[in-house]
């Protein structure tokens, strides 16, 4: 069944159908939220708020939109709101050079990269400006097209391309900086 068909079932009173939609997108949304927000607690809050808002607004969802894109739009907004609120109370960006100095060998085999590598990447991502991080994740991790990103974020394609390029440059520079240290 398509997403739109499940949406129609939910709107017809079958609440369980929404669980199927949650199941379908939970992992991708969780990954984006954690990568974007840098910690699991905030990511969980964003995720919960996203699905609740989606459920609440489902009767306003239009079939002409892809459900996934519509859901992502809510998620991105939730992550932005949460990050903005959080920035008032704390800075969670990791600045510990010691931790970053222990960056893994990106040329190592996949097994070695699984644990510490992922943690290091999360930290470096968190160092990026939020808009750059968001663009990088949507483009290269969630594999959206620039047109989809533009519809989702409201930013122009050229602005998004610039953000992605700057994010890539900074990630590469950060890696070179650590490697040369």
Residues forming the site for another protein (CB under 8 A): 10-11, 13, 15-16, 18-19, 22-23, 26-27, 30-31, 34-35, 40-41, 43-45, 47-49, 51-53, 55-59, 106-107, 113-114, 117-118, 121-122, 124-125, 137, 139-141, 143, 145-146, 161, 164, 168, 171-172, 175
- Tell me the closest approach of the beta carbon of residue 138 to another protein, in angstroms: 11
Q: Which is nearer to another protein, 15 or 181 (CB)?
A: 15
| CA dist 84 → 54, 69, 90, 135 (Å) | 21, 22, 10, 17
| Distance (Å, whole) CA 66 – CA 23 | 17
Q: In terms of DSSP H, where are the helices of the chain?
A: 3-11, 16-37, 40-56, 67-89, 97-101, 110-112, 118-127, 130-136, 146-153, 157-180
Closer to another protein by CB, 81 or 87: give it: 81
Closer CB to another protein, 98 or 158, in the complex = 158
């Amino acid at each position: 069944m398509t997403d739109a068909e499940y949406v129609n079932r939910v709107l017809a009173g079958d609440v369980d159908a929404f669980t199927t939609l949650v199941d379908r997108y939970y992992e991708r949304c969780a990954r984006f939220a954690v990568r974007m927000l840098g910690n699991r607690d905030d990511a969980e809050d964003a995720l919960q708020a996203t699905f609740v808002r989606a459920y609440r607004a489902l009767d306003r969802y239009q079939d002409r939109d892809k459900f996934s894109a519509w859901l992502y739009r809510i998620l991105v907004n939730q992550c932005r709101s949460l990050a903005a609120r959080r920035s008032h109370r704390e800075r969670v960006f990791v600045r510990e050079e010691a931790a970053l100095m222990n960056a893994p060998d990106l040329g190592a085999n996949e097994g070695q990269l699984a644990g510490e590598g992922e943690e290091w990447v999360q930290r470096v991502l968190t160092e990026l400006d939020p808009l750059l991080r968001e663009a990088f994740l949507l483009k290269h991790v969630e594999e959206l097209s620039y047109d989809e990103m533009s519809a989702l974020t409201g930013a122009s394609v050229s602005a998004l391309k610039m953000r992605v390029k700057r994010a890539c440059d900074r990630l590469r520079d950060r890696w070179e900086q650590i490697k040369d240290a």
